[in-house]
Structure 1
């Protein structure tokens, strides 16, 4: 091989190597930019969810605290449901409902399913407790409703469910917030 052919082959090899390096660098930069964009998207998604979940947990915790006495008593009676308590249940249920809407929009579905159970349990607590007030002030209803025992047990069970689902919601919310967004993550 003469010197001219060797020079051309050397130049060609150098050009191919340079083009290969440029392609690899371009691919690497695009991949790095894609990873950065994904991380920023996840951060922007995580921050609002954090605030939404925090508000929902606070609202449910308020209802949970309000129903502590009902859960603690083996056989609560109608006298345990005061006007103030029922008003507190109704307010807490209203706040939970408003916060639930935020959770439903923030997602994902797994968290929303548990949040919906919580919302329904809190509504049941408020409605059943209000029914107990009506039963208490209308003595003719008291006998027909066996002193409100079934309604009281309904409130007690809903309050117990609410406690269980609050724990489940908190665990799911933590998993969602810790997720890196990869396939199979919450």
Structure 2
């Protein structure tokens, strides 16, 4: 190989190496920018989630406290006033639930949905007992046969709410602590 050809091959190899280095540097910069953008996005998502989760936990805890007052209740306890306070607390959960579902991630929304569903069912059952209490009072103390077992099951269900709140809290904490390295869906 003569000197001229060697110089051309050397120049060609140098330019290929320079182009390769430029591509590698560009790729690394793009990846770095993408990682930074992802981290910023996660930070921006975490901040509002914290307040949304806090609001939901507060609403669920308020509902749970009212539920405890129904734990030892007999049918006469189910007055319109008490059921209305339960309904107001249930409505608070439903409002906070919507924000949780929108803030995500999916697994947090699913547990929040379970809490909301329990609150709705518990409140509807309380309303049913309130109506039954009025009917019983008007019927001179005659109790429907379904009411005894239903009331026992209702009272036992009160213990579910604090467990669901705890489960929601744990999943919400995991979502807030996630740095983006694992998928929460």
Category of TM-score, reference length = shorter chain:
0.7 to 0.9
> Is 1:58 aligned with 2:55?
no
Measured at CA, do residues 66 and 56 of structure 1 come closer, stay the same or move farther in structure 2, by a change above 3 Å? same
> Is 1:174 aligned with 2:177?
no
Aligned to 2:14: 14
Q: Superposed, which structure 2 residues align to 1:1-186 within 5 Å?
A: 2-71=2-71, 73=72, 76-81=73-78, 83-138=80-135, 139=137, 140=139, 142-145=141-144, 148-182=147-181, 184-186=183-185
Question: Higher mean Cα deviation, 113-122 or 54-63?
Answer: 113-122
Query: How many angstroms apart in 2 are the aligned matches of 1:6 and 1:92?
Result: 85
Query: How many angstroms apart in 1 are the aligned matches of 2:180 and 2:156?
Result: 36
Deviation of residue 115 (structure 1)?
A: 1.8
Deviation of residue 45 (structure 1)?
A: 2.6
> Helix, strand or coil for the counterpart of 2:142?
helix
> Helix, strand or coil for the counterpart of 2:70?
helix
Measured at CA, do residues 153 and 114 of structure 1 come closer, stay the same or move farther in structure 2, by a change above 3 Å? farther
TM-score after normalising by structure 1: 0.80
TM-score after normalising by structure 2: 0.81
**Can you give the 5+ residue segments of structure 2 that lack an aligned partner in the other structure?**
none
Q: Check the 8 A contact 1:122/1:158 in 2, yes or no.
A: no
> Helix, strand or coil for the counterpart of 2:159?
helix
Query: How many angstroms apart in 2 are the aligned matches of 1:95 and 1:4?
Result: 84
Q: How many residues align?
A: 183
Deviation of residue 89 (structure 1)?
A: 0.8
Query: How many angstroms apart in 1 are the aligned matches of 2:114 and 2:105?
Result: 15
| More relative contact order, 1 or 2 (CA 8 Å, 6+ apart) | 2
> Helix, strand or coil for the counterpart of 1:157?
helix
**Can you give the 5+ residue segments of structure 1 that lack an aligned partner in the other structure?**
none
Deviation of residue 141 (structure 1)?
A: 7.7
